[in-house]
Amino acid sequence: MNDLLKQLTEAVGVSGAEKEVRLLIRDLIADHVDEWSVDTMGNLTATKRGTGDYDMRVLVDAHMDEVGLLITDIDSSGMLRFTNVGGFDDRALLGKVVQVGPHKVTGVIGARAIHLLKRGEYSKVVRIDAMRIDIGAKNKEAASSSVKVGDYAAFVTEYEELDGGRTAIGKAFDNRAGCAALIELLRGERYPFDLVAAFTVQEEVGLRGAKIAAFNARADAALVLECTPAFDLPKEQDRSPNVALGKGVSVYVMDARTIQDPRLVAHIMATGDSQGIPYQVRQPGGGGTNTGAIQRAGAGIPAATLAVPGRYAHTPTMMISLDDYDNIVRLADATLRTLTPDTFRRD
Amino acid sequence: MNDLIRSLVEAYGPSGFEDGVRDLIRPLIEPHADEVTVDALGNLIARKRATTGEANPLKVMIAAHMDEIGIMASHITEKGFLRFTNIGGVGSHTLLGGRVRFADGTLGIIGVDRMEDRNSIHPLNKHFIDVGATSRENCPVRVGDAAHFVRPFEARGRHLTAKSMDDRIGCAVAIEALRRLPADVSHDLYFVFSVQEEVGTRGAEAAANGIMPDVSIALDVTLTGDVPESRPMDVRLGAGPAIKVKDSGMIAHAGLVRLMRRRAEEAGIDYQLEVLEGGTTDARPMQLAGPGSVAGCISIPCRYVHTPSETVDASDVEGAVALLVTLLSADMEL
Amino acid sequence: METFELLKQLTEAPGPTGNEGGAAAVIESLWRPFVDEIVVDRVGSLLGIKRGAGPADRPRPSILLAAHMDELGLMVSRIVEHDGNGFLRVTELGGVDRRHLLGQTAIVHGTRPLTGVLGGLPDSYLSEKERDKAYSYENLVLDVGLPIDEVRRLVSIGDFVTFRQSLRKLQNGRVAGKALDNRASVTAVTICLEHLQQRRHTWDVIAVATSQEEETFLGAYTSAYAQRPDAAIAIDVTHAKGPGTNDSELMELGSGPVLDIGANVHPGLYGALRDAANALEMKIGTGVHAAGSGTDAYALQVARDGIPTGVLSIPLRYMHTMVETVDMGDVERVGRLLAEMVARLDDNFLGNIREELMRPEISIKNGRGRSVSSVSEDDGA
């Protein structure tokens, strides 16, 4: 059992309320870094000083927030109205168990039973503003004693490793998988340069935390560790999956927010090739990671993204391959260990 | 100037892959600048220092973007065809039968999946590129490779047509202005040939953060309203460079607009005023950088923007150079 | 000055996004007696700095109060001749609600101000697919009633247009007019500065009437970058209950300030505002946003290395129209609440809110109207 992934994914940290994850990660890294600090938005930044070979600072980012729900109102019957935090498919919500607020009050998202539906209603998507979270309270007064407007809610999903042990399911692999990988890097040997690890907030609501973390880091280069949605399900046409589970680390080239630094991408691929670490190029196109904010911070930072492919992103239960996870740790580590100022020379 | 424009517009430089354009421009500007640098994202920055000995000369940033729209391979089929995604604002109505070229010279022809309805435009993801390969294995292109559209430069009288007038024509205006500026200037001038404008004005944002200009001027193309049944707009080809008042991402500094108008009038340069209802330029991130800068834009009117036949008028280009030179040579009381 | 008079002066001054000078002049005259220094920066924001009573031998912390002063408006996009007459076509500045334009009067800020009417052809003259739809900017004209030569002489493409609307009193202390988004908040900041004349505060106060919030948050980004405040509050308007907006989470007009919780808000700033309201025994509402707050806070929060930011709002009906409506009592309460909050800021505030980010959640119980953290073991702010 991968305890790191278990602890990290079972912790709650919806965008804007990442405290629990922040404290957990602080405890997991404190003995392995030279210093750590927290900025005004709640980004946790740690420095692992280098061996002194290169006068360079490299930022490695992993966002610690997850998508979730936010309580907007408590109605007179004690039901909680809510909105989504981060991108969601409304169809993923019905019938889910959630934990509400810092004290993790259990609630369920229910809807009118199938027996009572009118003709035609059955195939319609129930929209989020028509759903309620039921915590069992009898009225507003009673509900207000344990939850309040502005509380965040997360799914309740335990981490599990499936038969054979190389596939894991759980919530929030996006992006606790990236956090776990970054923690493993911090626990390793020093790099030839100063490594600044940023566990950032509010990625899912617009790459917000990374903007100031990158401004603060004053880095010469950056690597972002992520979990990217994988659509490798049975399909008819020859369009291939964007990325597939078990086929290696997903390397970004371009998404909706960035064109990844070509020099860094080439270095990553060369590293993977020479060290025999499997990787796959993620289909360029949509999506976006903190690289989008980091690349433009200050006077610009060359940046690239590595990701663990994850099926069923932004739902209560994601699935990843633990081989991919092991490989992202290896590839990120090998990429960093062979990174030099020459990697970024233009000629 | 046509030779300069031809060499610029035919160069390869989709957003993120501007190296070729940068290599082309660099030797052209080096003789006219005090210092030429390339920043972390690849912006080419030519600095011409104030010579008047003033303690705090104004820092003026002039930005023209080097990148052009293009495509990137996203999938290679078993039979060796490419599926692709857009780099920047590529309209799917401009694709069928078009040609693209990859960095290594590979030429591709754009085809479309079976058309069920010839009267509707097929989305980008129903198009493919044929590079002459017969299998995934012998395809010379890999997922993630970028290409630009190809179409030769043509001059028809005053009308100049090419695939990437947006914004190599701005680059040409900047290069020509830098050449024509007097040796002595009273402002610190930063001519920035920026990257990644077409994907969200990313390069200029970083460059502006590095420079922290007091005054910013973008050089870019703008749309026109002078073709049949076009969206109404009071900008036309041949009536002079356009002084931007507003676009959908920025409102130009009113004092800078007034100054540009006055300088144009003093120098007898025809100009137009521009209110653009879609799109924006590098002026937006420059205006927002740091404590903010006084920002504006000199636009070159252009027909058929984001197609392989972008068309400008040589007299507008000439006017833009003249306006920029007169603006930068004199005082800037705003 | 009476609140109505303040609101009247402030809302009737022209200050469309990108050309806020008219509003800035009025604000400057109102703030000058209350502040030590006034600056207009190069993107058009107006800053009033009131120094705190803290020791002069070391830098005093500062709080930035941002209320945007720009208002929605229009801009001349084309000048069109018809039958010897000059008509103006316009485009919008900020998110104008187009449905409200037909029949409205407006002022074109040409070489001199010109009054015009926003008109359009009747339904029967419109193409089939445009009938039954709100007028588009291609169909609307702004008619200043002048021949084409006169129009060309007086008006340029790119001239700014503001709506003509004087502030009206409704019943129950409510007022309606244009630009209450966000001059109502500028009024509240003015009231705050006035209260602070009688209050001791150790922190510096940087009151900013920001420019171009409605387009790019320009003034918030740039003033926060230049001033480097230690904390910031965005003051803006929020939807109140009204026709079509009876969602249970919205506040009634007159029900008091609304404090935001959400991604743009630092819990410490929320707490400080809430505690100040409690000290005044002032009723407050709660607003919740999951991502962007749609206010200057969106920019303030991420300026430089980040600024702890709060959001305080005034309930308002009919946002982005010429009949925006607020309750004057809410405006006054927001002003008073701001002053109270500023006066309570002390040397420990920043340290406390920093620690709060790393303090494990402890308490469980709370009562109605009180939040969990207000009864936690060691309440920070």
**Domain spans, chain B:** 2-68+163-329, 70-149
What confidence score (pLDDT) does residue C249 get? 81
- The sheet with strand C324-327 has its strands ordered as C168-169, C174-177, C324-327
Tokens of C344: 């309570």
Per-residue pLDDT at C364 exceeds 90: no
d(CA A340, CA A343): 5
Average pLDDT, chain C: 92
Residue B197: active-site member: yes
Residue C223 above 70 pLDDT? yes
HSE (CB half, 13 Å, CA atoms) of B219?
Answer: 32
Dist CA A205 CA C290 (whole Å): 8
Tell me which H or E stretch contains A74: strand A68-74
C366 has pLDDT over 60: no
Residue recorded with tokens 């354009």? B21
Give pLDDT, residue A236. Answer: 63
- What is the Cα–Cα distance from A248 to B273, expressed in whole angstroms? 54
**Whole-number pLDDT of residue A151:** 96
Class of domain A68-155: mainly beta
Specify the domain boundaries for CATH 2.40.30.40 within chain A. 68-155
- Asked if residues B317 and B172 have their Cβ atoms less than 8 Å apart, the reply is yes
Q: Is pLDDT of C250 > 90?
A: no
Q: At what angle do helices C328-344 and C180-196 cross, to 10 degrees?
A: 50
Q: What is the band of C135 on the pLDDT scale with cuts at 50, 70, 90? A: confident
Identify the closest residue of chain C to B246 by CA–CA distance.
C158
pLDDT value of residue C378: 37
pLDDT exceeds 90 at position C133: no
- DSSP states of C215-257 as a string? TT-HHHHHHHHHH--SEEEEEEEEEBSBTTB--TTSBPTTS--
Q: Cβ of A146 and C364 within 8 Å?
A: yes
Q: Which residue has the tokens 């009876």?
A: C246
Q: Do C263 and A16 touch (CB under 8 A)?
A: yes
Closest chain C CA to residue A202: C263
User: Are residues C157 and B273, on separate chains, in Cβ contact within 8 Å?
Assistant: yes
Contact C157/B294, CB-based, under 8 Å?
Answer: no
C-alpha–C-alpha distance, residues B67 and B44, integer Å: 12
Q: Which of B75, B200, B209 sits opposite A298 (nearest CB)?
A: B209
Chain A CA closest to residue B79 = A238
> Residue C247 has what pLDDT?
77
- Closest of B35, B333, B299, B25 to residue B189, by C-alpha: B35
- State whether residue B258 sits within 8 Å of chain A by CB: no
Phi-psi map region of C283: left, alpha, beta (phi>0 left; psi -120 to 50 alpha): beta
Portion of chain B with pLDDT greater than 70, in percent: 100
Edge-to-edge, what's the strand order for the sheet holding B154-156? B154-156, B159-162, B310-313
Q: What is the rounded average pLDDT for all residues in chain B?
A: 96
Q: What topology does CATH give the domain B70-149?
A: Elongation Factor Tu (Ef-tu); domain 3 (2.40.30)
Residue B62 scores a pLDDT above 80: yes
Which CATH number applies to B2-68+163-329?
A: 3.40.630.10
In this predicted model, what pLDDT tens digit does every residue of C49-95 receive, in sequence order? 999 998 878 889 999 999 999 999 999 999 999 999 999 999 999 98
CB contact under 8 A, A150 and C262: yes
CB B173 within 8 A of CB B29: no
Q: Indicate left, alpha or beta for A78 from its phi (over 0: left) and psi (-120 to 50: alpha).
A: left
For chain C, give every domain's residue range.
3-71+178-375, 73-163
- Find the residue in B nearest to C78 (Cα): B234
Question: For residue C54, what are the CA distances in angstroms to C49, C65, C202, C272?
Answer: 14, 18, 4, 19
- Residues 258-297 in A contacting B (C-alpha not used; CB under 8 Å): 258-259, 262, 265, 281, 283-285, 295-297
Catalytic hit among A203, A204, A226, A236: A203
Classify C3-71+178-375 by CATH class: alpha beta
Q: Which of B197, B198, B205, B274 is catalytic?
A: B197
Q: Which residues does chain B have within 8 Å of residue C219's beta carbon, measured at their own beta carbons? A: 292
Within 8 A of B240 by CB-CB distance, chain C residues are none
Gap from A255 CA to chain B (nearest CA, Å): 10
pLDDT of C70 reads 98
Nearest to B41 among A220, A238, A300 (CB): A300
Could you give the residue range(s) of every CATH 3.40.630.10 domain in chain A? 3-66+171-344
Q: What is the DSSP letter of A80?
A: E
Helix (H) or strand (E) holding B325: helix B314-329
Q: Do A253 and B143 touch (CB under 8 A)?
A: yes
Residues 205-224 of C with CB under 8 A from B: 212, 215-216, 218-219, 221-223
Report the half-sphere exposure of B247 (CA within 13 A, side-chain side).
23
Q: Which of C186, C196, C125 is nearest to C345 (CA)?
A: C196
Local mean pLDDT, 10-residue blocks, chain A (347 residues): 96 96 97 96 98 96 97 93 90 92 92 79 86 94 94 95 92 97 98 98 96 96 97 78 93 96 97 98 94 95 97 92 98 98 89
Which of C239, C245, C293, C305 to mutate to probe the A interface, most A CBs <10 Å? C305
Residue-by-residue DSSP string for A235-300:
-SSS---SS-TTS-EEE-SB-SS-B--HHHHHHHHHHHHHHT--EEEPPSSS---THHHHTTSTT-
Task: Decide: helix, strand or coil at residue B9.
Answer: helix
User: What per-residue confidence (pLDDT) applies to A237?
Assistant: 74
User: pLDDT tens digits, residue range B150-209?
Assistant: 999 999 999 999 999 999 999 999 999 999 999 999 999 999 999 999 999 999 999 999
Indicate the pLDDT class of residue C372, thresholds 50, 70 and 90: very low
- Tell me, what's the pLDDT at C380? 34
Question: May I ask the CATH architecture of the domain A3-66+171-344?
Answer: 3-Layer(aba) Sandwich (3.40)
- Per CATH, the architecture of C73-163 is what? Beta Barrel (2.40)
Which of B251, B286, B297 to substitute to test the interface with C, most C CBs within 10 Å? B251
